[in-house]
């Protein structure tokens, strides 16, 4: 997402067996590191729902969730 030299990343729920750029199950939010401070838009209800179902966030998404005050079970 975003434009040339202005990336915006989506935070998505996806099956781990899917390819990296494959089909997403659901878009949960977006992250823009180009703004000061970084812009993070999350649908917290959807994120908490996926975490309750056992979804495992990547280390990068885990860090974003932590900055938004969403604790992930089993995080360090």
The encoded tokens of residue 17 equal: 């067996």
pTM, 2 dp? 0.80
State the Cα–Cα distance between residues 76 and 74, nearest whole angstrom: 7
In tens digits, what is the pLDDT along the chain, a chain of 76 residues?
Answer: 777 778 889 999 998 888 888 888 999 999 998 888 889 999 999 999 999 999 999 999 999 999 998 888 775 5
- Which ranges in the chain belong to alpha helices (H)? 44-52, 59-67
Is residue 63 within 8 A of residue 72, CB to CB? The reply is no
Per-residue pLDDT at 7: 86
Per-residue pLDDT at 75: 59
**What do you get for the CA distance between the two ends of the chain, in Å?**
30
Per-residue pLDDT at 44: 92
Per-residue pLDDT at 20: 81
Strand segments (E) across the chain: 2-3, 6-7, 9-13, 26-32, 39-42
Residue found by looking up tokens 């199950």 in the block: 25
């Amino acid at each position: 997402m975003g434009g040339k030299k202005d990336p915006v990343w989506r935070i998505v729920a996806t099956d781990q067996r899917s390819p990296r750029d494959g089909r997403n199950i659901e878009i949960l939010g977006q992250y823009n590191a180009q703004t000061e401070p970084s812009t993070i838009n999350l649908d917290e209800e959807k994120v908490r729902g996926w975490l309750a179902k056992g979804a495992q966030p990547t280390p990068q998404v885990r860090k974003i969730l932590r900055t938004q005050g969403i604790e992930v079970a089993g995080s360090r």
